[in-house]
Structure 1
Amino acid sequence: MSRRFSTHTVGSVAESIPNSIVSEGHVGELVELTHTNNCTLPKNEDTFGPATGNKFTVYFDIWQLMVYIASMIVKPIAAAVPNCMRKRMPFFNELSIIMDLLCWMTIILTFFMGYIIRKTKVMVLEPKRIAWNYVGSIFFICDVLSSIPIPPLVYFIRVIFGAPHGYIEGVFYLLCQLTFIRLVSVVSYINSLSDYFRIKSKGMVFLLICIIMTIMIVHGFALLQLLIPRLVRQYFAVNNETRKMWFVKYRLHRTSFWTLYTNSMLKSSAMVLSIRNFYILSNEEEDYLLAILTYIVGKVMVCSTYVIVAVTVLNNRSMEIKFYSIINQLDEYMRQKQLPLNLRDRIKNYYNFKFQHKYFNSDRIYEMLPDKLKKEINIHECKNLIKNVSLFAHLTEHQTSTVVEMLTPEIFLPKDTIIQAGSPGDCMYFISSGTVAVFTHSGKEICHLEDGAYFGEISLVLQSSPYRCATIVAIEITHVYMLKKKDFNRCLLRNPKVMRRVIRVAHRRFNEIREQEAKFKKMLFEKIHGGADDLPSTQ
C-alpha cells in the first residue's frame, strides 16, 4: 500500500536537500540519505497509498480513489458497448475522453508525490527514486495502457488504413480492462483513509470494501459478456460473425444501453452466484469459456469473503473468547471449592468489571513498556480522576504526575468494607468511579461519596486522630486509587497550599463525624432509657 507525500509541502528545507527522506508520522524531520547517481528500485518499494498526517496527500488520495472508481466504470463501458449503440449515447465519447484526461493527469501528478518504503517506514522524496518506483511498478504499465483515448485512436486508424482495422482496435479495447488492476489501490486507499479519519468501526469499512469489490467484479464481468463476443466474432474473426453474438441474437443491441447493460449484468450475476439463467442462453464457445471463468472467480470471491469474515470475527472476538475461557475455568474452580452462591456472584462481578468481557494480560503488557510510556498511560488512566478531584487542581503538572505514579488501583464490590473505624490509618483513597457510604463507629450513616471524592485523609494529617474515625462501605462496584501514607507525605507535604486545604477538610469532616456520633449515641441512649421507663412494673 503506497503512501504519498508532496515534495512541495516540506518547504524550502526539502528543496535544499533533495536526497532526503521523511520519517512517517514526523513530516517536519528530514533524515539525510546517501546520494546515489544510479538509483535502482528495491523490491520492497512497490507500494502506493496515502501518507497519513498531511492534508494535501489526503486530498490527492481522495481524488485518486474517485478517479480510479470512475475509470473502472466508464472506460470498460466505452470498450464493450457496440459501436452502433455508442453513437446513440449522447456525450458518451466526450465523457470517455475527459476520463482519459483525468487518468493522465493522475499519472503525471504521481511522479511528484513521495512514497513510503514498507520495510523501513520512511518516506522517499527524491524525484528520481519516486519516478523509478512508479515506472517499475505494474500500476504504471496498467495506468498508461488503460488510459489510451480510444475514440480519437479509432478515428486515426480508420484514416490511416482507410477502413476499420479489427485487430488493432480489439487489442486497445481489451487493454481498457487493465483499469480493474486499480481495484487493489481502491481497497488500499479506503483502508488508509479510514485510518486517517479515525473510523473506529472496522466492520463498516470491511463491509464497504466488500460491496465495492463485489459491484466492480460483477460490473467487469458484465461488460466482458459484451466485449469477448465482439472480440471473437467481430475484431479477431476472419469473417464477420456478429450474428452469433448473444446480444445480437436477442436483438438487445437495438435497444437502449441500460436494457443491454441490465441483461448483461443479470447474466454475469447468475454466473458469479452459480445460478442458471433460463432467460438468456448462448451456445457459443466463447460464452462457455467466459461462463467457466466467471464461475471460478465467483466461487473464489465467495470463499474468500467467507474466510475473511471468519478470520475478522475471530480476531475481533479473540479477547472475548479468552475471557469466557477464563470464566469457564473460574466456574470449575468455584464448583470444586464448593463456594456459596453469593460469593460466586461477587467473584464473577469482579471479573466482569475488571476485564469488561475481554481478557488480556495487562500486567505483562505494562511491564514491557518503557518508563516514559508508563507515565503517559498512568496519566491517561487517571485523566478523569485528575479532572474531577479538586485536590489535584492545586498541584503543578510535575507534582500531579508524581502522585499519579504512586497511586494503586483497587476494585471493591458492593457491601465491601474499604475502611473500618478504629483501625490504624496508613493510606487514603480517591474515587474514580462508584459510590461509597460513610458510617460512624456506632453505625450511623452520614453521607455518600461519589466520583472525584477522596477519603481516609483524616488519620494521615490529624495527629489527634491516628485511627480511623469512620467506616467506608462500597454501595456499588467502586474503582478507587489508593495513596499510601509515606507517598502522601513525600508528595503533598511539600505543597503548603494543598496541605492547608486537606487539613481544613479533614478538620471539618472529623468534627462532623464526632457531632453525628454524639447525636446518634444520645438518640440510642434516650431510646433505650425511654424504653426502660415504659416497661410494666413487676411488683
Structure 2
Amino acid sequence: MPRKSKEVHECTLSSKLMNKTLYPLPPNASNTARFLRVIRTLCSMDPKNVKSKDFFRNKSTMFGEQKRHAKKHYRFVIHPFSKLNNVIKVVFFISWLWRFYSVPVMYGFFFRWMHTFLVIDIIINILQYLIFISFFFVGYVVSKKKEIIIEPRKILFHYLKTYFIFDVIAVFYDDIVSVYKHSENLLGEYYMYNYFASVVVMFAYFTRFKYFMGVLEDIIKMLHLSKTVFSLLFHLFVVSITIHIFTCELFLLPKIFYGETFPNDSWMVEAGVDRISEVPFVNLYTEALMITVCFYFGASHDKYAFTCPEEEIVLTVISIFGRLYTLYMIADLLKMFGLVGISESKYEQYLGQLEEYMSSKNLPDELRIRLLKYYEYKLQKHYFNENQILATLSEHLRIEMFLFGARKLIEKAQLLKTLPRTTLASLFASMSTETFMPTDIITKAGQPVEDVYFISSGTVAVVNAANTEITHLEDGDEFGFLVTEDGKLIYTHIAVETSEIYYISKKLFLEFLGAHPEIFKYFENKVKKRIEKFDSIETTLLLGGNDILSSLRSGKLLERQAVRSVNFEFEN
C-alpha cells in the first residue's frame, strides 16, 4: 500500500526544460524570426487556458499535447486551447453580438440607423472577415471521443461541412445587398425582399448560436464566475434578442402588408408613427418595443386598439412564443437552484460536509486547499458511489470498465501493451488505484518495497539517497523495481502534481509475467537500462554537470556573440 507523507517537496528540476517544446532560437536570430516565434507561441496550447485545465488532468498530458502541436506540419494550425484562439473567440463574441442586434434593425427599419453607426459597422465587418479566414486554421475538439483535432486537412473539411456556408452568408450577404441599403426612396417591391433578406441573414447568424453560447461559457469560466451566472446571462440574452427581433418585425411586417399607405385602424397610425420619414428612429423603436414587451410577458396594453388581422397575427405569435419561453425559463431556474440535478447537488452537499469537518478540526488553510483540490480531482465535481455501481455489474463488465479506465496507461506503457488481453484484464482486476496530491511521498528510499507502481496520469519526481532530484517519471512509466540486494528501495518517489497511480503486489505482478518468458525478459532489460540511465545522471550530478553532454545541453560549448568595438580612422 503506498504511503502519503506531510513532508514538502520542492522541485529542483528546471520547469523551463520540462515545458520547452519549440526548439530554442539562436542568439543571433533576426527580428522576423523572433516575431514568428511569438506568433507560434500564441498559436500553441496554453496550459493556463480554462479549457486545458478541464480537458487534461495533469501537466504531463498537457506537455505531450504541446509536443504534438510543435511538429512542423502543424505550424500553421491554431490550437483550440491557445491564447490566439481565445482572442479569436472574444472578437467573434463581440462581432456576432453586435450583428444579432444590428441586423434586425438594418432590415426592419430600412437602414435608417446606418448613418449613426456606420463606423462601428465597418470595423465589425473587417473583424468578421479576419475571423472567417481564421476558422480555416483553428483546430477543434471532438467531445464524445475527447479528442483534439489539429490536422490541417481535417480542420478544412470539418469547417466546410459545418459552418462554412452559413458564415459566408452571414459575413458576405450584407455586402451583396448593400446596393439597397442606402437608397433613401425604397420602393414597395423591395419590402418583401428586405424581409426575406433579414430572415436568411438572421438564420445564418443563429446557426452559430451554440458556438456563441460556448464562447460565453468560456468567458464566464475565465472570470471565475459560477454556472448560475452563465444560466442567468443565457436567459437574459435569449429574452432580449427575441424581444428585439419581434420589435423590428412588428414594424417591418405592416410595411410589407400595407406598403406606403396604412389603414386608419393600424396601431402605427394611432401612434402617429406612420409617416416614417418624419419620425425619429428612437420614437419608432420605443413604441414597437413597449407593445412587444407587453405581449411577450402577457401584460395588458390598452394604449392602442389592435384590430387589423395582420397585426393581430404578429402579436399572437409574440404572445405564444413569450409564454412558452417564460415557462421554460422558470423550469430551468428551478433546476439551477437545486430542485433538479441530484448529482451536482450531492457533490455540493458533500463539499459542505467537508467544510464543516475542516472547520471542526481547525485545519490550516494550506491543508484545506489540498483537500478541496483532491476531492475536485477525484469526483470531477459530481458525486457518485463507484463501489456500489461496480457491485451491480457482471464480472465481465467490471473487467471491461477497469480496462477502459486504464486505456491511457495501457497505450503509453509499452510493457503492458505486450501482454495478452486476458492477462491484462486479470492484472488490472488485481490492481488498486490511489490519487496523490503534489508533494505527497509515494515511496521512500531505504524502506522495503511490497508493490510496483504504474503512473496512469501525472508526474513523479525521483530523488536519490543524497536528497537530490535526478529526473521525472510521467504517464506510462513504472517504478518500485530498483532495490538493493536486501530488497530496499534505492530512490524516493514524490508526486510533483496530482497523480493517479495504479499499484499491485510485486510478487503477484512477477507471477503474471512468469507465464510469458519473452515479456519477462523484456522487463528485465528495461530495468537494467533504467539502472544505467539513473547511474549516468547521478554521475553527472556528482561531477557538477561538467561532462561534455551536460555542457552541450546547457549551451556552454556554444560560442556567444561578442560585441566588438569598431575604430574609424579619419584623415585630416
Q: Normalised by the size of structure 2, how large is the TM-score?
A: 0.46
Structure possessing the higher radius of gyration over alpha carbons: 1
Using CA pairs under 8 Å that are at least 6 residues apart, name the structure with larger relative contact order, 1 or 2. 2
Q: Normalised by the size of structure 1, how large is the TM-score?
A: 0.49
